[in-house]
Structure 1
């Protein structure tokens, strides 16, 4: 027993020592990876969608492969990191290993603005997952085995364990060469079900419960004789955020409002919201929020706001345009009306999560609104439902003067609304 306690104590001391080393040597005021202003292009989005499509092609209980080039890995890595922090990662394929250089921005503190870490992953056999072969915190080189052991302990004893299992369990082989990484995987129906349920769960943040409760009350008290306006959801939600906010937490409170409303509008998580309020979903009406008598406008607006709040406005802008271009090719057709809602939602999310001052300004403004027209300009006179041929005939590409004229007109309409006439802070 004494031996076990001693080993446990040594383990804690090792973890503590590594944490101290990370703080002392990894935190500084200079980023080691250039690209904190990282921006996705339309080609990036197209490739990302192709990667996801390739990964989804495999059916349960069938073996599949996917190849990722160096550019694919950098696209995926930067996308994932920028969902949560302003950050940058540079990934290289060299000597049959993956080289990572990561810089993450930190909240204001006395030690420094950035955390810089670099490491290498490699494997001796394609039938084993790549492991750490080198690990540096700033300029400090740590033993690879020690770093791997500590990281493994952290994964096993935190919520990262579920992500790790879902990401690695289906993988059967990983081949790393000078040009690409080839993943061979086998997904069972149960694995796919677990991944879908886990990744779509929006209740991971306990702080969101108070807003889920409020939204459930709004829905339950709505007059069924009337349509449910998006403004009817956002006005009282931001009033609650205003009452709960200080300069220190205003941005996070706004994020919670936007995420909760987006869950309702775009993910239809009504049973979950009703469960939070203590009600049951049986027999309760389900309303689809609208703007300008259109449900899709509310979906586009709050979806773009949520994407901006969780990632960044540049990504939201590109994805909005990409969605409309894909609709032109066999979908419902390219719509400048939908694009206007995307742009307005992006601007809304940008301001609401930019600075503490702007976060509280938007709370006060939204607490007093009477109509969605105060945050979404009327787009109904704009062209829509254009297939590929019509779009190319009228506008050519999204870089043409004709397209840019309409895009700038949308921007001008959004900018004219008083709620957006404040600094974005980004």
Structure 2
């Protein structure tokens, strides 16, 4: 006897059940994603937009940076860094501008934990815009360990949105950042070994640590968030121009640009190497910072002690070369922020004054660099650099721009760096650079 064939209705039941289960799984997955998004994201930033930088905040940031990156203490020696709330404000403001759209705020406050009436803690807030009106906010609460003399990592309580991060993961990330900051070290020191003391009071934070070396500053930044030139190619490019004596910047640039690119390197990467090598020769006090992991390779290059000049001025050559190197490795936003904040700091008491001539050299270096690392323009820029002249780097009319302005004079004539008067002055500089053929 032949069994009855299943009816169409009977065969459709499993298919409908599978589709129903699929819809439920999809709905459950969407619910999980929405819940995670609600926990991590926000419609408002935790950190407000940074205030317009002024002379006081720029000077405070420079004071802190000089302690962090400017120490002449030899590698491996102990160095003490002490920062006040004002200096933290300055550092956070500079970082927020250089790393925008990331916003950063750091606060010192009395300890909130029971039994810690004498100590303090640091709160670091961060906000990052994602677009479509969404923000991700993070809070890091930093406290010294109970034994402030112990060589131990600080207590870290990190929250992203409403999601707490395990302390072991926060410590791992901190140790990794510290390792990256030692971009030039053949044998980097572990953070647990480097950190010797860390204390926080309501008015200042103090850390005693093993100096990772002067080269850590820019090399580490480039490794963490930029593009690091190949060390062997950088060493070869630098050693080829290191002995150049009594030269002006255009001659140095021509000598560097005349080097034939090695096989297998793109035009934009070759330009990045050349601009970094030029800055190492023109700005000897930053040579180790720029060399990064090429430090050992350039140690015996026989560098000349003669200064490099632009329009007869050593400072202008340094401004152009350093701005170009930073733009090529870390980006124009970092270079532009550092240039502006430096001039603001110079307008403080005892400084050389705000200089629009220096700013013009900064912007010229930045513009050359940004064109030099664009694939579609890199070869054209190489050709131009081989025959560059002083007027094509910094037009003579820009040498007459205002400079030596103290805080009172700058604020009287330009108010602040976000004012229409200041914007007009910068537009004039950019127009003159464009007329001279600066990319």
Pair in the same fold by TM > 0.5: yes
Q: Counterpart of 1:290?
A: 309
Contact 2:241 2:281 in 1 (8 A): no
- Seen in structure 2, the aligned counterparts of structure 1 residues 265 and 357 have a Cα distance that, compared at 3 Å, is same
Q: For residue 343 of structure 1, give the secondary structure of its aligned residue in structure 2.
A: helix
Q: Counterpart of 1:413?
A: 432
Q: Counterpart of 2:283?
A: 266
Q: For residue 121 of structure 1, give the secondary structure of its aligned residue in structure 2.
A: strand
How far off its partner does 1:341 sit? 1.7
Contact 2:371 2:378 in 1 (8 A): no
Q: Counterpart of 2:57?
A: 44
Deviations along 1:168-208, one digit per CA (max 9) or x if unpaired, are: 32x35223xxxx45324568xxx56x544654879985713
Q: 1:174 aligns with which of 186, 189, 200?
A: 200
Contact 1:48 1:76 in 2 (8 A): yes
Q: For residue 340 of structure 1, give the secondary structure of its aligned residue in structure 2.
A: helix
How far off its partner does 1:89 sit? 3.2
Q: Counterpart of 1:130?
A: 154
Q: Counterpart of 2:104?
A: 89
1: CA distance between counterparts of 2:68 and 2:382?
Answer: 44
1: CA distance between counterparts of 2:363 and 2:339?
Answer: 7
1: CA distance between counterparts of 2:428 and 2:122?
Answer: 46
Contact 2:99 2:334 in 1 (8 A): no
Contact 1:238 1:254 in 2 (8 A): no
Contact 2:353 2:405 in 1 (8 A): yes
Q: Counterpart of 1:375?
A: 393
Kindly report which structure 2 residues correspond to 1:32-181, keeping only aligned pairs within 5 A, or say none. Answer: 41-42=53-54, 43-51=56-64, 66=82, 68-69=84-85, 72-73=87-88, 75-77=90-92, 79=94, 87-91=102-106, 96=112, 97-102=121-126, 118-123=139-144, 125=146, 127=148, 130-133=154-157, 135-136=158-159, 140-142=163-165, 144-148=166-170, 150-151=172-173, 154=176, 162=189, 164=191, 168-169=195-196, 171-175=197-201, 180=202
Number of equivalent positions: 366
How far off its partner does 1:157 sit? 7.7
2:365 corresponds to 1:342? no
Long gaps (5+) in structure 2: 1-35, 113-120, 183-187
Q: Counterpart of 1:312?
A: 334
Long gaps (5+) in structure 1: 1-23, 107-112, 421-426
How far off its partner does 1:131 sit? 0.8
Q: For residue 419 of structure 1, give the secondary structure of its aligned residue in structure 2.
A: coil
After superposition, the CA RMSD in angstroms is: 5.5
2: CA distance between counterparts of 1:63 and 1:360?
Answer: 42
1: CA distance between counterparts of 2:44 and 2:421?
Answer: 41
2: CA distance between counterparts of 1:36 and 1:254?
Answer: 38
Q: For residue 311 of structure 2, give the secondary structure of its aligned residue in structure 1.
A: coil
How far off its partner does 1:125 sit? 3.6
2:241 corresponds to 1:218? yes
How far off its partner does 1:210 sit? 0.6
2: CA distance between counterparts of 1:301 and 1:152?
Answer: 34
